[in-house]
Amino acid sequence: MFIAGLLAMSALLSQGVQAQYADSQSQDAHSQTQDASGQPLERTGAAMTGPDSAVVIDMREPAPSDPVEPEPALEDSVLVQEYRQAILAAERRDGAYAATLPEQLLGLATALQELQRHEEASEALKRGVHLSRINSGLYSAEQIALLESEIESLRALGDYQRVDERQSYLYRVQQAAIDDQRELSDALMRQAQWQREAYLLGLGEESERATRLLLMWDLYRMALRARADAFGQESLALREPLLGMVETQYLVSRNAFFAAASPGSGADVRLTSMNIESYRRGETVLKALVELSETNNMSGLRRASDLVALGDWALWSGRREAASQYYADTLALLDELENGEAIREQLFGVPTLLPTFEDLHPFPAPRWDDQGDIALGFSVSEGGRTDDVERLARADVQESSVQNALYRALRGAFFRPRFEDGKPVKTQGMIWSWAAPAVEGKVRLWSDM
């Protein structure tokens, strides 16, 4: 019932979000077809030139300067040499726009990537995409492998802004070129996961980052529909996009831009709608996960974990009464299971940091003792909030910036509380510690996400 309801929603991107992809690509395509002065490029047998292009040779003596030590030439592997020779042969035989060049440039780039020469690889792939556009059309399927490989190199170079631009164009190519629903669903999942990564990397202004969450939600929902079409509405293949939709709502719930988007605030109606409906949307998706695990007769642990997640989401969202009911439902399910006691200890025996998505935790996983370089003591209330946070570290790290960051993050953390006799109870005397190098630069507050 809940899965069918989610699939009944429009799986098309909203106009505003679709425009985000369209704008970035129109600029990219425009730059590929004009010269530096804005004049259209013309195709010739050898190169793209402007209408009034001319060769100018500067015969003046270069200004004197200090001698520059040339960079040592990188040695090509045998495979790289073979691809370079094949590319030269194709250009001599069929010209600079030879139809075989995109495939050969992809091979060259792959060989360069194996040597960690990603700058050269990305240039080769950029040319390959351009030639594929010319020979096969703006959104030809041939470009997909080239773009994916180019994105891999740009990631390795840390050029995330360019990764974002190429992901936008890749999306448009995938939408136009992929017919198979399984392949399309995987492509949509990767696009949604990139939006999540870009959001957590902090790319763009706050308004742009909020739009990424809208885009994440739509992409995961589109992937859900594609997988339902490919595998059926009861397939476990639907779990992955459903989990992505839950994660999106956790991020929305703590995003300051969404929090300020309320009726009458003048905010974009899409932001206002997502803000108002965030709890309901998250609850609906989590119920779909429960339904899916029951339909597929999943293990007791899986079914209990999906059900307790509804309580976690309600508690996180300040719905204490709903949280209590979902936790009670989980405990009732455990009473019916043969291994229910062991699962009860796993789910309710100790406080559990929320959300349970590890990549959304504010700090790396801790040790449950005081043996790390940095140690903090604390308690967790029956409502899931931390109390009595104190520094227990050695004197040499007592006032370190890393420890201070951990202290602030832990004070703002939220937990599923420990349960005794079916009721949440306060847990005192908890101690977590970390090795200093493991947390350096890896602590963040929810307000920073």
Give DSSP secondary structure letters for 199-246.
HHHT-S-HHHHHHHHHHHHHHHHHHHHHHHHHH-TT-GGGHHHHHHHH
Statement: residue 359 has pLDDT above 50:
yes
- Residue closest to 310 by CA, chosen among 298, 336, 328, 337: 328
Q: Are residues 240 and 215 in the same domain?
A: yes
pLDDT of amino acid 42 = 39
Q: Are residues 336 and 196 in the same domain?
A: no
What CATH number is associated with residue 286?
Answer: 1.25.40.10
pLDDT of amino acid 306 = 98
Tell me the per-residue pLDDT of 374-426, one tens digit each, with 9 for 90 and over: 999 999 999 999 999 999 866 565 557 888 899 999 999 999 999 999 999 99
**Weakest-pLDDT range from 30-44, 109-123, 397-411, 428-442:** 30-44
Contacts for 55 with CB less than 8 Å, ≥ 6 apart:
none
Q: Is residue 32 assigned to a domain?
A: no
Q: Are residues 140 and 287 in the same domain?
A: yes
pLDDT of amino acid 324 = 97
Q: Are residues 378 and 437 in the same domain?
A: yes
Statement: residue 60 has pLDDT above 60:
no
Statement: residue 360 has pLDDT above 70:
yes
Neighbours of 181 (CB within 10 A): 15
Tell me the per-residue pLDDT of 156-189, one tens digit each, with 9 for 90 and over: 999 999 999 999 999 999 999 999 999 999 999 9
Statement: residue 14 has pLDDT above 60:
no
**% of the chain with per-residue pLDDT over 90:** 69
Tell me the per-residue pLDDT of 128-141, one tens digit each, with 9 for 90 and over: 999 999 999 999 99
Instruction: Find tokens 């997909």 and name the residue.
Output: 144
Q: Is residue 65 assigned to a domain?
A: no
Provide mean pLDDT across the span 303-315. 98
Check: CB of residue 192 under 8 Å from CB of residue 219. Answer: yes
The domain of 213 spans 2-24+78-295+305-314
Q: Are residues 131 and 266 in the same domain?
A: yes
Q: Are residues 246 and 327 in the same domain?
A: no
Alpha-carbon torsion 178, 247, 284, 204, what sign?
negative
Statement: residue 252 has pLDDT above 90:
yes
Q: Is residue 35 assigned to a domain?
A: no
Domain tally, the chain: 3
pLDDT of amino acid 325 = 98
Check: CB of residue 160 under 8 Å from CB of residue 168. Answer: no
Sheet holding 386-391, edge to edge: 386-391, 374-380, 427-434
Q: Are residues 268 and 181 in the same domain?
A: yes
pLDDT of amino acid 122 = 97
pLDDT of amino acid 101 = 97
Q: Are residues 309 and 331 in the same domain?
A: no
Q: Are residues 342 and 282 in the same domain?
A: no
Q: Are residues 358 and 229 in the same domain?
A: no
pLDDT band at 22 (very low <50, low <70, confident <90, very high): low
Q: Are strands 374-380 and 352-354 parallel, antiparallel or unpaired?
A: unpaired
The identity of residue 143, as a single letter, is Q
The larger pLDDT score, comparing residue 51 to residue 13, is at: 13
pLDDT of amino acid 329 = 98
User: How many Å apart are CA 394 and CA 389, to the nearest integer?
Assistant: 16
What are the two backbone dihedrals, phi and then psi, of residue 386, each rounded to the nearest 5 degrees? -80, 145
Q: Are residues 102 and 191 in the same domain?
A: yes
Question: Over the chain, what is the mean pLDDT?
Answer: 86
Q: Is residue 120 assigned to a domain?
A: yes
Q: Are residues 203 and 319 in the same domain?
A: no
